[in-house]
Amino acid sequence: MEYIHIKNLEKYHPGYKDRTLQWAKIYFKMVQGDPDCEMIENEVDWGRLIKFIILELQAQKPIPLDEGYLKKKGFSIEKRPIQLTLKMLHNFISIVEMSTDTRHVDKEEDKEEDKEEDKEEDKEDKNNKNDNNSITDHIRDKSFKKPSISDIAAYCKEKGYSINAEVFFNHYEASNWYRGKTKIKNWRACIVTWANRDSDKPKAKYI
Write out the DSSP string of 121-166.
Answer: HHHHHHHHHH-TT-HHHHHHHHH--PPPHHHHHHHHHHHT----HH
Q: Model-level pTM?
A: 0.49
Q: Write the single-letter amino acid at 60.
A: Q
Q: Which segment of 44-48, 166-170, 202-206 scores lowest on mean pLDDT?
A: 202-206
pLDDT of residue 5: 95
At residue 95, the pLDDT reads 93
The C-alpha angle with vertex 57 and arms to 206 and 180, in degrees rounded to 5, equals 55
**Separation in Å, CA 19 to CA 22, 184, 202:** 9, 23, 30
Q: Is the pLDDT of residue 57 over 80?
A: yes
Does residue 83 register a pLDDT over 90? yes
Residues 156-184: pLDDT tens digits? Answer: 999 898 889 988 888 888 888 887 778 88
Looking at mean pLDDT, say which of 19-28, 127-136, 151-160 comes out highest.
Answer: 151-160
- pLDDT score recorded for residue 137: 46
For residue 44, what is the enclosing H or E element? helix 43-59
Q: Which residue has the higher pLDDT, 39 or 99?
A: 39
Instruction: Classify residue 28 by its DSSP letter.
Output: G
Q: What is the pLDDT, as a whole number, of residue 175?
A: 83
Q: Which residues, including other chains, have CB under 8 Å from residue 132's CB and lie 6 or more apart?
A: none
Cα(109)–Cα(112) distance, integer angstroms: 5
Question: Is 70 a residue whose pLDDT tops 70?
Answer: yes
Give the type of residue at 98: M
Please state, in angstroms and rounded to a whole number, the distance separating the CA atoms of residues 15 and 40: 27
Find out whether 4 and 45 touch, Cβ atoms under 8 Å.
no
